[in-house]
Amino acid sequence: LDLGDMKILTWKIRNVDLSLTASLEKDELLKIAESIRENI
């Protein structure tokens, strides 16, 4: 499996495991993850 420049971010909120895969910079992925966490 070749993801090229894709980055994978995984984290857990309560009992839910989340994974985000995108060709974004690390700081952009973290901003998205923070936004999701704040809205749950």
Summarize pLDDT for 10-25 with one digit per residue, the tens: 989 889 899 988 998 8
pLDDT level of residue 2 (50, 70, 90 thresholds): low
C-alpha distances in Å from residue 11, one per residue of 6, 17, 18: 17, 6, 5
User: What does the domain layout of the chain look like in residue ranges?
Assistant: 7-38
Res 15: pLDDT: 92
| Cβ–Cβ under 8 Å, residues 21 and 7 | yes
Amino acid at 37: R
